[in-house]
Amino acid sequence: MAQQEFCEKCNQQHNCQEIYQKLGNSKGPSVAPVATIGFLLPILVFILSLAVFKGIFARTIDSKIVQTALCFLLALSASFVSVLLIKAVSILLSKNK
């Protein structure tokens, strides 16, 4: 019921089906691999760097609070740098196409 009211107010109601067919048939490269890398790689970098820093600081720093804070901040920094690198590589690859 609400869909019909929405369609009645739409200025594209006469060629709506044609628009959706054109959108469905559009050809282009898949963004799934790029989106997966852009989403999962920073999370993976965060987790791995957190484990690495935890191992390093477990031997050098006695205070658990300081260990946790440093590990978190350094892992967050590593993840941020990976996001910047992914963005830079993505920009370079898009310019080359």
Here the tokens at position 1 are 């019921």
Placement of tokens 């987790």 in the chain: 47
Tens digit of each residue's pLDDT, the chain (97 residues): 455 666 677 776 677 777 777 777 777 777 788 788 888 999 999 999 999 999 999 999 999 999 999 999 999 999 999 999 988 988 888 887 6
* pTM, rounded to two decimals: 0.67
Q: Which of 83, 84, 85, 52 is nearest to 70 (CA)?
A: 52
Q: Report the pLDDT value the prediction gives residue 13, as an integer from 0 to 100.
A: 67
Q: Which of 7, 3, 1, 29 is nearest to 19 (CA)?
A: 7
Q: Report the pLDDT value the prediction gives residue 5, as an integer from 0 to 100.
A: 66
